[in-house]
Amino acid sequence: MFSEMIAAIRGNRLPDPELLQKRFEFALTKKLGIVKLPPAFWMRDPKINPRADHLFWAAVLLKDRRRIDMALSIIAVELAENSFPGAVGCGQEVEEKARELVGMLLEQFSDPDARQHLVQGLDGIVAAEWLPGGAGKTR
């Protein structure tokens, strides 16, 4: 669903924001339809059930806090489904997952200058502790 986005960032380019925004909205609609179903019916095909990490990456690349929060909500639902009953700390798990996913997104850029440019563009949009060297900082 987000193959063009992945190809662009692996080529050290940012995807077209207008196309990415449309793709995000379409994928979000699909994903919300899936998470409303009982987990036993969640399809594994990413064309039907877009990957939550790719939704998050798209939201980060769009530098849109509202979309980031929506993607994190979906990640929280998926994490909660995979947790044992009565598990606590889902908020902390989501924060850790967000930090991990931002790191994975930045690793996709082989050019350090492109990576740094994205990091600078995310300042103030994502939690500072999600960014490299941001441990202990808060937004």
Ordered per-residue pLDDT tens for the chain, 139 residues: 899 999 999 999 999 999 999 999 999 999 999 999 998 888 888 889 999 999 999 999 999 999 999 999 999 999 888 766 555 566 788 999 999 999 999 999 999 999 999 999 998 999 999 998 764 444 4
Cα three-residue angle 62-71-45, rounded to 5 degrees: 105
Which pLDDT belongs to residue 87?
54
Which pLDDT belongs to residue 59?
97
In the numeric block, the tokens 């050019």 are attached to 111
Predicted TM-score (pTM) of this structure = 0.87
Q: Is 108 left (phi over 0), alpha (psi -120 to 50) or beta?
A: alpha
- Count of alpha carbons within 13 angstroms of residue 61, beta-carbon side: 32
Which pLDDT belongs to residue 139?
42
